[in-house]
Amino acid sequence: MDTKLKGDIAEQAAILHALKRGWGVLKPVGDRLPYDLVFDVEGTLVKIQVKYAWFDEPSGNYVVDNRRTKTNRRIMVREVYQPSDFDFALVYVENLDLFYIFPVDVFIGYGSEIHLVEAEKRQRKPRSAQYRNAWELISQKSLSKEYCDCSPVEFGKVEF
């Protein structure tokens, strides 16, 4: 299975999970934006980057690259994401049908890879454990949005 297909599977799983929560889902046209989906959570639009985690046999962990990959027929360029690129990264672990929900600042705060530990082999939980199926983080973002008490202004009647 190639990486594009894995990405498509992860996106469709994210859409299904969002729809089950009653959220609207918007899909940008093309593949040039730094986010893959937009969730409409109670009127708040949340930009989502979706990643597929692969299983790394030697470590026994699921791994995801947290850099942006751009390809141009023969050249693959990796860049770091910026805090304004998206609101949350959803990392899909297909074998377990689960997501890690990382706020953008946490996601880009890791090195080039994030190792997700799903085996009960550690004495203490890894830092990523708090983001395992943490869908409430997205819901909380919609509740914490700032409201503008703005009224429409008629054209030509702006007051200073």
Domain ranges within the chain, ordered by starting residue: 3-143
Length of the chain: 160
Of 72-76, 94-98, 119-123, the one with minimum mean pLDDT is 119-123
Q: 148 falls in which pLDDT band (50, 70, 90)?
A: very low
CATH class of 3-143: alpha beta
- 152 pLDDT higher than 60: no
- 88 pLDDT higher than 90: yes
- Residues 24 and 18: their CA atoms lie apart, in Å, by 7
- 150 pLDDT higher than 70: no
Q: 114 falls in which pLDDT band (50, 70, 90)?
A: very high
Q: Mean of the per-residue pLDDT values for the chain? A: 87
- 143 pLDDT higher than 80: no
pLDDT > 70 in the chain, percent: 88
With beta carbons less than 8 A apart as the criterion, state whether 53 and 63 touch.
yes
pLDDT at 126: 81
Top-confidence range, 3-12, 119-128, 143-152: 3-12
- 138 pLDDT higher than 90: yes
Name the residue among 140, 144, 138, 139 with its Cα closest to residue 49.
138
Cβ burial of 81 (10 Å; 0-12, 13-18, 19+) is middle
Buried (b) or exposed (e) across 11-44, using 16+ Cβ within 10 A?
bebbbebbeeeebebeeeeeeeeebbbbbebeeb
Which amino acid is located at 141 in the chain?
Answer: K
pLDDT at 158: 53
Tokens of 103: 């706020």
pLDDT at 73: 72
Name the residue among 109, 69, 68, 63 with its Cα closest to residue 85.
68
With beta carbons less than 8 A apart as the criterion, state whether 64 and 51 touch.
yes
Q: 154 falls in which pLDDT band (50, 70, 90)?
A: low
